[in-house]
Structure 1
Amino acid sequence: MLGFLWSLASFVIALGILVAVHEWGHFWVARRCGVKVERFSVGFGKALWRRTDKLGTEYVIAAIPLGGYVKMLDERVDDVAEEDLPHAFNRQHVLKRIAIIAAGPLTNFIFAIFALFVMYLIGVQTIKPMIGDIQPDSIAGQAGVVQGSVIKRVGERETIDWQAVNLELISYIGNDTLPLTVTLSNSPVEQTKVLNLSTWQFNPDEDSAIDSLGLSVYRPEILNVVGLVAEKSAAAQLGLQVGDKIQQVDGTPMENWEQIVSYVAKRPNADIAIEVLRDERVVRLNGMLGSRQDGENEIGYLGVSPTLAPWSKGVLFTHQYGLFDAIVQASDKTWRLMTLSVEMLGKLITGDVSVKNLSGPISIAQGAGMSASSGIVYFLSFLALISVNLGIINLLPIPVLDGGHLLYYFIELLRGRPVPDSVQEIGFKIGGVLLLLFMSIAIINDITRL
């Protein structure tokens, strides 16, 4: 329950920020184009807070935090007093109307750059893309990719960490081949491995693009040394201590941590004898395991976490830049997120990406909660990603979205007169149905993932 509330709160905060940013773009440009803004609302429904400025704009925070809007003076919506006609949106030159509508998505992109800029100034800890185990019969294994290699580029794009690798791998969905440039850990010489994607089966709900190709992220060795003992757990009752090296369980030598986990899981609430090495002497502990539910199954539970061997030098590093370089990196990352979003939309149309991969508010809320739990820099990265996607989606030429309005205005610009109201009305109805369809698919996908 606590996790649900945390995700919900993170989602509301994220959505509130992004909606406010988007609508502020419309608002700011409208004001500078001489349009009177009647209301700037974050959320819908009952107003929880409101204030009116000296220019007559009402600022509102409403009860339902699932969107927002800017209400501009417009003859097509309300009656407008004669003296206010020059300030009505519909009376503005078409280029001004284009600027006002385009400002929302554009501000989303600018905000993404800002969020990533702050993230890079603070610094985010990340992992060099060094490859761990390779599945022998996998796509990567068949291409000759070997353990310990470092991925330098996917295609023509440099990959400084695993997040960059994952983004670039996703961009190759639907392609026949994937060029992977790697270096061995003991050699600076680059090698290009061409992966055959004809048999690539990638399901984002089940695994990552990295895993689906047979690659794995290098991790330090998990030692048989206790790193954490949970309070009031079976381990605490047994007398296990941080730093204990588990050697035997019930007289069976334990070769690795996975063996310990497997042995314990099969014995819920069973008596157990553990032999550990503590301060260079052998200590024998006796007691009883605990248990916990894993779906419909009851499994044994000890209540300890292991110690990891030290990371190899340079594999774990902080991705941080100075003022100028942070702007460059943030701009480049935002541009890549934008182009990748457009590529994915194209693959959705061609069928290379299934509509089953569409995500809705539940998935976004889960992502918000996870990123917020990981820290501010990860939450900033999440905000940048969602902000870019919000901007791209709003630019789709679907009536009711900003892109649909822009389409009508560009047609007006070319033909010298507005698109007839009757045609616009039909377009808005079709656009509303399409938007509702996509939202329904996304929400159904979210529910099936729960």
Structure 2
Amino acid sequence: MFEFLWNLGSFIVALGILVTVHEYGHFWVARKCAVEVQRFSIGFGKPLLKWHDKLGTEYVIALIPLGGYVKMLDGRVDEVPEHKRHLAFNSKPVLSKIAVVAAGPIANFLFAIIVLAAMYMIGVQNVKPVVGGVTEQSRAETANFQAGDHILQLGDKSVSSWQEVTFGLMSNLGEEQVVVKVQDAQQQIRLRALPLNDWKLDKQDEAPLQSVGIQPFRPEITLTLAHVQAGSAAEKAGLQVGDTIRSIDSEPVQSWQLLVDKVKESAKQPLRIIVIRAQEEISLTVIPGANTLKSGETVGYLGVVPQLAEWPAGYIETRQYGPLDSMVLGIKKTYELISLSFDMIGNLITGQVSVKNLSGPVGIAVGAGNSVSYGIVAFLSFLALISVNLGVFNLLPLPVLDGGHLMYYLIELIRKKPVSEKTQELGFKVGALLLIALTCFALLNDVSRL
């Protein structure tokens, strides 16, 4: 329950910030273009809080935190008095309309730049992208990747973290190959030609690294417990943080995977575990809980997390930048995220990325909760990523989105006359149906991940 409430609260905070930024973009430019703004609403439905400013705009925080809107005076939907017609949105020149509509997505992009700049000023902690292993019969094995390879560059882009490696792979979807520069375990510079022909992300939640067969280096998993879940089978049996597993059912435990395998096959069956606690051997009896997988198989679980051995020296680095460098990096990173987002939309259309990878509100809520748990830098990175995605999504040429309105106004700019009301109404209906279908599909994907 706590995890659910934490994710929900994080989701509301994150979405509230991003929607406010987006709608404020529309609001600010509308005011600059002398359009009367009647309402600025964050959320839909019943107002929880509302107030007015001296210009008569009503500000609303509403019950359903799944979006927002700016209501402007518009002769197409309102009875506009003669003395106010010059303040109506529909009476403005087409360039002013374009500016007001485009301001929302642009605000999201500017917000991402600011957030990323703040993140770089605080300091970004990166894990050096060193290969820990290579999956057999994978693309990485074909390219002769070896454990210990430190990835330095993908194509013409230098990389310093696994996130940059992942984004680099995704940006090369559709290419025949990408040349990867690495420094091997013997400190020699090597070039690995990673084949990407016919490569697709067509499995739900399969990470790009996993898909090509690269396993990031991770410190060895110890047999000492770092966390015991409250209410779990482990806690009920008396296991504690700091306990080191010695044996299970009289069988010495040589690795964490051996313990996992034994527990999985022992759902609801008592197991005798010997642990070392404060240099003493303690015998405990634990009855693993049962968890049913999507396949229908029932497996046992304890509810514990192991400690990891310490990272080797130099594998984790924190990079902190000054204000100017941080702003330059923020602009560069935002541009890369925008480009990647458009690339992914294209790959979804062509089928190179499966629609099973789409996420809806539930997926965003989980991501928000996880990022908050990892600290302010992770949360800022999450906000920037979602802000860019929100901006790009709103630029899609669906009539119910900003991109659809921009499409109509660009046509008006070229034809010197507006698109007919009948055509616009039909477009809005079709766009609404497509948007609802897309949202439902993303929600189904979210539910299937639970």
1:417 matched to 2:407: no
Look up the match of 1:107.
107
Structure 2, unaligned runs of 5 or more:
none
Conserved 8 A contact 2:126-2:161 = yes
CA distance in 1, matches of 2:311, 2:398: 50
| Residue 203 of structure 1, CA deviation | 4.0
1:80–1:211 distance in 2 versus 1, CA, 3 Å: same
CA 1:196/1:407 → structure 2, altered by over 3 Å: closer, same or farther? same
For the residues of structure 2 that align with 1:13 and 1:57, how far apart are their CA atoms?
Answer: 24
Rounded to whole Å, the distance in 2 between the matches of 1:372 and 1:405 is: 35
1:21-420 alignment, distance < 5 Å:
21-187=21-187, 189-198=188-197, 200=199, 202-203=201-202, 205-225=204-224, 227=226, 246-249=245-248, 251-267=250-266, 270=270, 272=272, 274=274, 276=276, 283-295=280-292, 297=298, 299=300, 301=302, 305-420=305-420
Structure 2 CA distance for aligned equivalents of residues 77 and 263 of structure 1: 67
Say if 1:225 and 1:334 are closer, same or farther in 2 by CA, change over 3 A: same
State the number of aligned residues. 445
Q: Deviations over 1:253-305 (max 9, x none)?
A: 433232244345545553536375966xxx5433322422222636364x765
Taking the aligned partners of 2:448 and 2:197, their CA distance within structure 1 comes to 28
**Structure 1 contact 234–288 (Cα < 8 Å) conserved:** no
State whether residues 238 and 285 of structure 1, in contact with CA within 8 Å, keep that contact through their aligned partners in structure 2: no
Following superposition, the deviation at residue 48 of structure 1 comes to: 0.9
Report the Cα distance in structure 2 between the residues aligned to 1:315 and 1:13, rounded to whole angstroms.
33
Q: Which moved more, 1:170-179 or 1:307-316?
A: 170-179
CA contact (8 A) 1:129 1:151 kept: yes
Structure 2 vs 1, CA of residues 427 and 203 (structure 1 numbering), >3 Å: closer, same or farther? closer
For 2:282, give the aligned amino acid. Answer: L
Quick one: structure 1 residues 289 and 141, their matched pair in 2 at CA, closer, same or farther if it must change by over 3 Å? same
Work out whether residues 271 and 286 of structure 1, in 8 Å CA contact, stay in contact via their aligned partners in 2: no
Classify 1:133/1:80 alpha carbon distance in 2 versus 1 (closer, same or farther; 3 Å): same
Q: Could you say which residue in structure 2 is the equivalent of 1:440?
A: 440
Q: For the residues of structure 2 that align with 1:413 and 1:438, how far apart are their CA atoms?
A: 30
CA distance in 2, matches of 1:170, 1:332: 17
| TM-score, normalised with respect to structure 2 | 0.90
Q: Secondary structure at the match of 1:287?
A: strand
Q: 1:74 to 1:247 in 2, by over 3 A?
A: closer
Change (3 A) 1:207 1:277: same
Distance 1:80 1:406, change over 3 A: same
Does the Cα contact within 8 Å between 2:117 and 2:326 map onto a contact in 1?
yes
Q: Distance in 2 between matches of 1:235 and 1:442?
A: 35
Equivalent-residue separation in structure 2 for 1:11 and 1:432 (angstroms): 24
TM normalised by structure 1 equals: 0.90
Deviation of the 1:58 alpha carbon: 0.7
Q: Is the 8 A contact 2:291 2:301 kept in 1?
A: no
> How much has 1:342 moved relative to structure 2?
0.6
Q: Secondary structure, in 3 states, of the residue corresponding to 1:59?
A: strand
Q: 1:224 to 1:421 in 2, by over 3 A?
A: closer
Counterpart of 2:397, as a letter, is: P
Distance 1:211 1:17, change over 3 A: same
Give the 3 Å change call, closer, same or farther, for CA 250–62 of structure 1 in structure 2: closer
Check 1:285–1:158 CA distance in 2 against 1; reply closer, same or farther (3 A cut): same
Q: Does the CA-based 8 Å contact 1:182-1:192 persist in structure 2?
A: yes
For the residues of structure 1 that align with 2:195 and 2:166, how far apart are their CA atoms? 17
Code of the aligned partner of 2:153: R
Structure 1 CA distance, aligned partners of 2:230 and 2:440? 44
Conserved in 1, the CA contact under 8 Å of 2:224 and 2:244? yes
Distance 1:246 1:423, change over 3 A: closer
What is the alpha-carbon distance in structure 2 between the residues aligned to residue 3 and residue 242 of structure 1?
20
In the alignment, residue 166 of structure 1 is paired with which amino acid? T
Write out per-residue CA displacement over residues 312-368 of structure 1, whole angstroms, 9 at most, x where no aligned residue. 111112243221121122111111110011111112222222333322222222222
Q: Check 1:199–1:31 CA distance in 2 against 1; reply closer, same or farther (3 A cut).
A: closer
Change in CA separation of 1:420 and 1:157 when aligned onto 2, cut-off 3 Å: same
Calculate percent identity across the aligned residue pairs: 48
SS in structure 2 opposite 1:180? strand
In structure 2, the CA distance between the partners of 1:290 and 1:79, relative to structure 1 (3 Å rule), is same
- Partner of 2:133: helix, strand, or coil? coil
Give the Cα–Cα distance (whole angstroms) in 1 for the partners of residues 441 and 402 of structure 2. Answer: 21
Do the aligned partners of residues 241 and 80 (structure 1) sit closer, same or farther apart at CA in structure 2, a change above 3 Å counting? closer
Could you say what secondary structure the match of 2:19 adopts? helix
- Residues 199 and 338 of structure 1, relative CA distance in 2, 3 Å threshold: closer
3-state DSSP of counterpart to 1:202 = coil
3-state DSSP class of the match of 1:386? helix
SS of the counterpart of 1:219? coil
Compute the displacement of 1:226 (Å).
Answer: 5.0
User: C-alpha distance in 2, partners of 1:360/1:240?
Assistant: 37
Query: What's the secondary structure of 1:132's corresponding residue?
Result: strand
Q: CA deviation at 1:194?
A: 1.3
Question: Partner of 1:62: helix, strand, or coil?
Answer: strand
Q: Distance in 2 between matches of 1:94 and 1:330?
A: 32
Q: Note the aligned Cα RMSD (angstroms).
A: 2.7
Contact 2:180/2:194 (<8 A) preserved = yes
Query: Which whole-Å CA distance do the structure 2 matches of 1:98 and 1:245 have between them?
Result: 64
